[in-house]
Amino acid sequence: MYVDAHIHLYDEEFDEDREEVLQNALNNDVELILSVSEDYESSIKNLDILRIYRPRYKIYLGLGIHPYTAIYNPGDLTKMVELISQYHDTIISIGEVGLDRKYSDADKYWDRQVEAFEKMIQLSIEYFKPLNIHSRRAAKDVLTLLRKYDVRLAYFHWYTDDIETLKEIVDEGYYVGFTPALLTSKRIQKYTDVVPLTQVFTESDGPVRYYGPLNKSRGEPKHIPLIINKIAELYEEDVEEVTIVIRENFKRLFRLQYG
């Protein structure tokens, strides 16, 4: 039973073959899938996806404000706070949320990002939902806010920042996700020297496209076994053991009960 802890199932790239993607996931033993949201529109679409495809597929949801939305569509924040409050019993995560310094307007509208992220943190604490975090070039800033609010439940999806900050993230007990980028990136592979297996998640971040073995194809849950095999190689662990540990990580953070 594999885990895809971060995918954008609502994305229009999945509109023509969403059920095929989900069936291919099952065919490749990927049973647990967490679809995150970026704004109000994607949140509504994700909620519709949940209604359509559960219980045939074990889809779980995260609702949240992405840093891009915080910058360019700040009006979504109020609507998202209301939506999360309405559906807090339906979702298992607040996400995708966080901070990003790569956008051209990141510094100009940094206060918008911080405001949105702080509000998402507060909802995470209020409803006891783990944060699914975007931290591109801003992991240290994210970590500062998590410490400010004493956040204990957090998952850094597709971490790409520096090793020293990663060590601090691990020391805080937060989880870290590996995508198919792990198959080809030597820099990301070095993160496995820092992150204990008991704090690792696997994710496709679909529909992001990847080089290497995926040959620029769209990331999907069916690719999770490739990541698992690479993790087993890097950690020098048995594939089955890696699979069990990551599944239990997911169960532990998101407080799920299943066989």
Give the Cα separation of 77 and 39 in Å (integer).
Answer: 8
Distance in angstroms (rounded) separating the CA atoms of residues 223 and 186:
19
CA 198/CA 92 separation, integer angstroms: 20
Q: Is 70 exceeded by the pLDDT of residue 14?
A: yes
pLDDT for the residue numbered 163: 98
102 falls within a domain: yes
pLDDT surpasses 50 at 259? no
* Contact between 67 and 82 (Cβ < 8 Å): no
Looking at residues 28-41, what average pLDDT do you find? 98
Evaluate whether residue 221 is within a structural domain: yes
Token reading at 242: 């890696």
CATH number at residue 109: 3.20.20.140
- How far apart, in whole angstroms, are the C-alpha atoms of residue 252 and residue 249? 5
pLDDT in tens, 176-218: 999 999 999 999 999 999 999 999 999 999 999 999 999 999 9
Answer yes or no: is pLDDT of 238 > 50: yes
Residue 257 clears pLDDT 70, i.e. is over it: no
Chain centroid to CA 51: 21
Which residues form the domain of 39?
Answer: 2-254
Any domain includes 243: yes
**Strands across the sheet with 131-134, in order?**
2-7, 30-35, 58-63, 93-98, 131-134, 154-156, 175-178, 200-202
Does 259 fall in a domain? no
Structural domain contains residue 94: yes
Region 7-32: mean pLDDT is: 98
> pLDDT tens for residues 118-160?
999 999 999 999 999 999 999 999 999 999 999 999 999 999 9
Q: In whole angstroms, what is the distance from residue 201 CA to residue 28 CA?
A: 17
* Count of the separate structural domains present in the chain: 1
Tell me which amino acid residue 100 is.
Answer: D
Q: In the 8-state DSSP scheme, what is residue 219? A: P
Contact (Cβ atoms closer than 8 angstroms) between residue 98 and residue 142 = yes
